[in-house]
Chain A
Amino acid sequence: MDILLQLFISFATVGLFCVGGGYASMPLIQAEVIDIHGWLTMNEFVDIFTLSQMTPGPIGINAATFVGSKVAGIPGSIAATLGFVFPSVFIVLFLGYLYYKYGNVAAIRGILNGLRPAVVALIGSAGVNFILLAFWNKEKLPVDVTKTDPVAVLIFVLAWLALKKKTGTITLLFSSGVAGLVFYLVSGMHP
């Protein structure tokens, strides 16, 4: 199948199933882009997610654009982004119509109540993959605990403590980057 059409369909699927904001789209994009199509490595995916946090615009659109662009250049980025928002146009306008007609939508509320805890779990499952990559440079279980990257664990802990002090995202990520550079250079280890 044409790669642009494939990008469009993949991201339309993500757009259709992702409920609950930017983070919720990540496990879905991961499933489509890494597990099903193998368009990116987990490493590239986490980098994209990181950069999306630091650039303006909605996180999901940023990720779609980056993936599309890497897979098929500028036409790819346009195809992925349009695919992502395509289902929304119809669903949102339809919900708006129902809302103005009936005032509220009880069935939708039930579906959302079921999805809210599910989304937490799915973001958590993406979190597992992020940790595997950060600490062990691996995409899947099992891991060898003796091969844990101590620098990565240290930066993770420091970042966690900084988050407790309500450090802003950009400051935190930039500091983590600088910490990575300094700690790896000083320790002579390789990421």
Chain B
Amino acid sequence: MDETKVTMEKPETADFKEPFSYRKLFISTFLISAFTVGGGFVLIPLMKAKFVDEYGWLKENEALDLVSIAQSAPGVMACNSSIIMGYRMGGFLGSVTALLATVLPPLITLTIISYFYDAVASNPYVRMFLKGMQCGVTAILIKVVFDLVVKQVKKKLALPLIVMAGTFIAAVVFKINIMQIIAVDAIVGLFLMRDPQYD
């Protein structure tokens, strides 16, 4: 960790518009997480706006780089961004502060909802409503997949399409464990798909 500190110390070059404080970091991140529906793609631009444009705790380019690191790591994208931006702004403690602030609002909201769910889910009218929503969410999911497949096909590269088809068949037809499938795909990518054309 010592070496990490050397390369990832607090940014001295950024022009602070507000003095850095853990309290402010926690509150701003908490509020963004609490009121933003739609996951990482919506949360991350808001965090960037807050820390770069409003507080001046991060530089624009640096924030973009940090987000791209966050996106390339496994896990929840919004949490990853909090972890790495938090680290850049306030060291390991900043990282933990931002992560907790990101995670706490959904933790509280969803725990409450889960108690309500248990109480009402067996009611026949609620069931009809939920069933309607299930069909809607299925449409959303299939649309997401459809758009992604079209995007891949348009690139006209054989290897990604083979990986896609192979993965689908392995998961749906042969029911191979997903973690194993992902490990194989990662190895295929590592050895065969480093070329920038696959980016």
**What is the interface of chain A, defined by CB distance below 8 A to chain B?**
13, 15-19, 21-23, 25-28, 31, 44, 46-47, 49-62, 65-66, 69-70, 74, 77-78, 81, 84-85, 87-89, 91-93, 95-97, 99-101, 105-118, 120-128, 130-131, 133-134, 152, 155-156, 159-160, 163, 169-170, 172-181, 183-185, 190-191
* Interface positions of B from 63 to 97, Cβ below 8 Å from A: 65-66, 69-80, 83-84, 87-88, 95
List 19 interface pairs A-B (beta carbons < 8 Å), by A numbering: A28-B178, A53-B37, A55-B37, A57-B34, A57-B110, A58-B77, A62-B109, A78-B107, A85-B79, A110-B198, A112-B189, A113-B194, A113-B198, A118-B185, A156-B136, A159-B135, A159-B136, A159-B138, A191-B131
Pairwise interchain contact B107-A77, C-beta atoms closer than 8 A: yes
Q: Are A50 and B139 in contact (CB under 8 A)?
A: no
Could you say which of A57, A91, A125 contacts B36, with CB atoms under 8 Å apart? Answer: A57
Q: Is B118 an interface residue (CB 8 A)?
A: yes
Residue of A nearest to B81 (CB): A92
Interface residue? B190 (CB, 8 A)? yes
- Check A58–B40 contact: CB distance below 8 A: yes
CA of A125 to CA of B103, assembled, Å: 28
User: Could you tell me if A109 and B76 are in contact, using CB atoms closer than 8 angstroms?
Assistant: no
With known contacts A28-B178, A181-B128, A85–B75 Cβ distance under 8 A: yes
Where chain A touches its partner, the secondary structure class is helix
A54 x B129 contact (CB < 8 A): no
State the B residues within 8 Å of A (CB). Answer: 3-4, 7-8, 33-41, 43, 65-66, 69-80, 83-84, 87-88, 95, 99, 102-103, 105-107, 109-111, 113-115, 117-118, 121, 124-125, 127-145, 148-149, 152, 160-161, 163-168, 171-172, 177-179, 181-182, 185-194, 198-199
Q: From the candidates A54, A105, A160, name the one contacting B37 in the complex (CB within 8 A).
A: A54
Q: Point out the residue from A130, A131, A160, A178 that lies within 8 Å of B132, measured CB to CB.
A: A178
B114 with A89: CB separation less than 8 A: no
CB–CB B99/A16 < 8 A: no
Residue on A nearest B188 in the bound complex, by CB = A114
Contact A177 B73 (CB under 8 A): no
Kindly provide the distance from the CB of B8 to the nearest chain A CB, expressed in whole angstroms. Answer: 6
Closest CB-CB distance, B104 to chain A, in whole Å? 9
B160 touches A116 (CB 8 A): yes
| B131 A180 Cβ-Cβ under 8 A | yes
In the bound assembly, the distance between CA atoms of A170 and B111 in angstroms comes to: 20
CB-based closest 8 A-B pairs:
A114-B189, A180-B132, A176-B136, A57-B106, A88-B75, A191-B131, A159-B139, A121-B167
Residue from the list A17, A44, A163 in contact with B143, Cβ < 8 A: A163
Contact of B168 among A26, A61, A109, A124 (CB under 8 A): A124
